[in-house]
Structure formats: structure tokens, C-alpha cells
Amino acid sequence: MPPSGELRFNDLFEAAEHSAVHLEMRDVYGVGDEADDFRHWQETGWRDADPDSAYWAPWVDLISRATSHGVEVRRARVVSEPVTDYIRYEHAGTSVNVNAGEDVRWLARRRAVDLMLPGCDLWIFDGSSVLFNHFTGEGNWADPPLDLRTEPAVVKQCVDAFEAVWSRATPHELYEIH
């Protein structure tokens, strides 16, 4: 999450009572310290997959707290194939997400052509609010980076889009990088 939106995101996430779902649709991101970690992976082929590392521990703690309170956390990634190096990097670290309690699935973009998807990544909390994530073309946080929406029609469209992707997507442990 962006520095200016971190507290707001964490507050929304921690207030979730039943579900927090994330729809990712970009093939490249370039945000924060993740960009440094990605560059390191490109140079060395090594990806930090230690849930206790400084990089992962805050996220693992957030997910673990939520799931221990009964919040279902799901992440769906719509990706172009063949995948970008960035998606290879994400795939290499997804075991940490899964071990923290997230259920992660992957959907090839070509299998989503008949789905009506939102124009940007998003989080849906308890099926009642949507937090849109705004990025620049290079994958950095835009200004403003976040947009919280609670209008029932907007939320329903996003919930329907997420569930459509989810129903077609392949579980992480079965998804093979192409």
C-alpha cells in the first residue's frame, strides 16, 4: 500500500468482519520497496520468501490476524501469457501469501475476454466497500493512490467481476507459469 494510504488501508482491512478480496490486473508494478526487491530478484534470481523478513512480516501479520478472526482473504490475479518477469517474481513469492492465509488464484487474460472487469485493481471488504488502487503507466502509485467507494451498484459490479474471475481462475498450487 502507498505510504499516504497505508493507515487507511490497514484500518479498512482490520475492520473487515467476513471477507477481504483483492483483484489484481496489471502485468507490472513498480511501487515502493517492492521495486527494489524486484530489481534484486532480476539480478540474482533470489526472491525473499521468509515470512519473518522485514519485507514480508507486516503483511503476514496483517493477514494472519484477519484470518484468525474468521476473515476470508482471497486474491485473484489476471495475467497476460506469456507472463512478464514481474509476474514471475510475484509467482515466486506467492507461497508467503498462501502460508499467511490468503487463497490465491491466477487467470490468463485470454480467459477473461468476455468478463466485464473494473478499470483498475481493487480490494472489496465484506462485500460492502471497494477500495480502488490507482497506478501510473509505469506501475507506481498515482495521485491520489486510493479511492474508496460504497455505492451499492459500484460494489455489486466489483463483487460480480471478482467472483467471475475467481470461478475461472486456477489455484496457485496448480498454476504453471507460461
Q: Taking the domains of the chain in order of start, what are their residue ranges?
A: 3-174
The pLDDT assigned to 11 comes to 93
Q: Is the dihedral of CA 91, 173, 122, 113 positive or negative?
A: positive
CA separation, residue 34 to residues 43, 68, 90 (Å): 14, 26, 10
pLDDT one-digit tens code per residue, 59-115? 999 999 999 999 999 999 999 999 999 999 999 999 999 999 999 999 999 999 999
| Residue 130, Ramachandran bin (φ over 0: left; ψ between -120 and 50: alpha; else beta) | beta
Q: Report, in this order, helix, strand and coil percent for the chain, each rounded to 5.
A: 45, 25, 35
Check whether 158 has a pLDDT greater than 60.
Answer: yes
| Residue 89, Ramachandran bin (φ over 0: left; ψ between -120 and 50: alpha; else beta) | alpha
Residue with cell 489455484: 171
Query: Which residue, among 34, 31, 30, 21, has the nearest Cα to 122 in the 3D structure?
Result: 21
- 170 burial (CB, 10 Å; 0-12 / 13-18 / 19+) is middle
Q: Are 106 and 163 in contact (CB under 8 A)?
A: no
The pLDDT assigned to 4 comes to 52
pLDDT one-digit tens code per residue, 29-53? 988 778 888 999 999 999 999 999 9
Q: Tally Cβ neighbours within 10 Å of residue 69.
A: 11
The pLDDT assigned to 34 comes to 86
Across 10-18, average pLDDT: 95
pTM (predicted TM-score): 0.94
**Band of residue 159 on the pLDDT scale cut at 50, 70, 90:** very high
pLDDT one-digit tens code per residue, 109-123? 999 999 999 999 999
The pLDDT assigned to 5 comes to 53
CA separation, residue 40 to residues 52, 102, 123 (Å): 18, 25, 28
Write out the three cell numbers for 51: 515470512
Fold of the domain spanning 3-174:
Endonuclease; Chain A (3.30.870)
